[in-house]
Amino acid sequence: MSDIFISYASEDRSCAKSLAHALERKGWSIWWDRRIPIGRSYDEVIEEALDGSKAVVVVWTQTSVKSQWVKNEARKGMRRGVLFPVMPLEEVKIPLEFEHLQAAHLMDWQPEQDHAGFDQFIDDLAHKIGAPVSAEAQPKQIIGKDGASMVLIPAGSFLMGSTKDEVDRAIQDGVKEMGLDQQRSEVRIKPEFPQHKAHIDAFYLDKYEVTNQLFHEFVQQTGYRTTAEREGSAWCFVEGKRWKEVKGASWLKPEAGATVFDSNRAKHPVVCVSWDDAQAYCQWAGKRLPTEAEFEYALRAGSTTKYWWGDRNPGLRRVENIADESGKHLFNTIMKDYNDGAVRTAPVGSYEANPWGLHDMGGNVSEWTSDWYDKTYYGKSPERNPKGPSSGEYRMIRGGSWSRGPIDVRSAFRIWVTPSTRSGRVGFRCAQDIPK
């Protein structure tokens, strides 16, 4: 659950939002956005969030002092000895039963500005519930054990998935643009709903997808044999035949022909690797696969639009390697009037970084995550650091690729496949926890 529960009147939502975001920037997880998951009651969710929090911050205003809901929540925090009152707007007469508790006076406080009262409030919180893991105290970039650059992803919250309107539009786009029947389009898109809030603790994520060169070093040091090498095949895109299982294809020979080194692809992302292969590499490197929630959070990088770069065609910007004008002879659905210059994979880092300094999150190759798939999981996902179902038949893949068009490179798009899948459009990157 969250570190801090914020109690406020609905009329004071904008004030509560500013306070919540300021506390999140300090590194704490915050429960304040009262979205209720489908199938659960308001009372049940509030009770669970209150019981699971380490502190209750009550926002006293002219409105909230009259709210029975706010007073009930404040009572619960007071009984536990973890109530922290604040007055962010104006001096108000606090209800009698709470008058003995000193409130933090934040009437002239502004986010991102120094304020003695706010600093004291933070110190008091830290003394009671422990100092947060501050992203600001961590280096912005590190080098992993495997030699790969990693970027610090700050703690924060975001809305994961798609709204009903967004889902409905994407389903119809699938019918019109991709030629899918209604049922097939619904199966692909509906698991993006319901949109829900997720809080992600700070972590490190590889700046680039794992390359053939890095994977080669792993194989050389460990003698590891991939699923494709053991099973004798992988799925490749064959011109005129689309995706086909090809004997002899593997990470080293993605088309069962020239090696990636003979064809000058050492810096391209490794492909034709299964979930087990990706997991084995991460463990060797002292890392792990990112969760599905971590991946979407890092992909969006603070954006709420269809793609991390916006809602529309990127035009002349070279943002991602996706199915576009350069691949129109291969694919039926492309991003029209956009040309990234690559038909298949490209060297990692060839395109713009997203706002958090990550490359190829929405293109080049789709990427394995740690999660199992369950089509109902979004409706019951925990708010803080969701890790997916405990078991399943399919693993989650996220992010667009060189063969995917506008619908499939949206930030919310989800892909699920069997863990043994090895394909010429799927690779991975690694995540790493911040040392405690």
Q: Round to whole Å and give the CA distance between 342 and 335.
A: 13
Residue span(s) of the chain under CATH 3.90.1580.10 come to 141-210+272-433
Q: What is the CATH number of domain 141-210+272-433?
A: 3.90.1580.10
Structure confidence by residue, pLDDT tens digits, 112-144: 777 888 888 988 888 888 877 555 567 889 999
Q: Round to whole Å and give the CA distance between 432 and 205.
A: 6
pLDDT at 353 > cutoff 80: yes
Residue span(s) of the chain under CATH 3.40.50.10140 come to 4-132
Please check whether the domain covering 4-132 is classified as CATH 3.40.50.10140: yes
Q: Round to whole Å and give the CA distance between 303 and 234.
A: 35
- Between strands 242-247 and 156-160, the pairing is unpaired
Q: Can you say whether the dihedral through the CA atoms of 302, 174, 365, 393 is positive or negative?
A: positive
Structure confidence by residue, pLDDT tens digits, 386-397: 999 999 999 999
401 Cβ contact partners less than 8 Å away, ≥ 6 residues apart: 321, 322, 363, 364, 365, 366, 409, 425, 426
SS (H, E, C) 49-112: HHHHCCEEEEECCCCHHHCHHHHHHHHHHHHHCCEEEEECCCCCCCCHHHCCCCCEECCCCCCC
Task: Tell me which residue of 291, 282, 303, 277 sits closest to 377, measured CA to CA.
Answer: 291
pTM of the model: 0.73
∠ CA 406-410-415, rounded to 5° = 100
- What pLDDT score does 217 carry? 98
Task: Tell me which residue of 103, 115, 7, 91 sits closest to 55, measured CA to CA.
Answer: 7
Residue 197, SS3? strand
pLDDT at 1 > cutoff 90: no
∠ CA 301-295-224, rounded to 5° = 140
Q: Round to whole Å and give the CA distance between 338 and 9.
A: 47
Q: Round to whole Å and give the CA distance between 162 and 93.
A: 42
Amino acid code (one letter) for 143: I
Structure confidence by residue, pLDDT tens digits, 48-93: 888 888 999 999 999 999 999 999 999 999 999 999 999 988 889 9
Q: For the residues 364-379, what does the mean pLDDT come to? A: 97
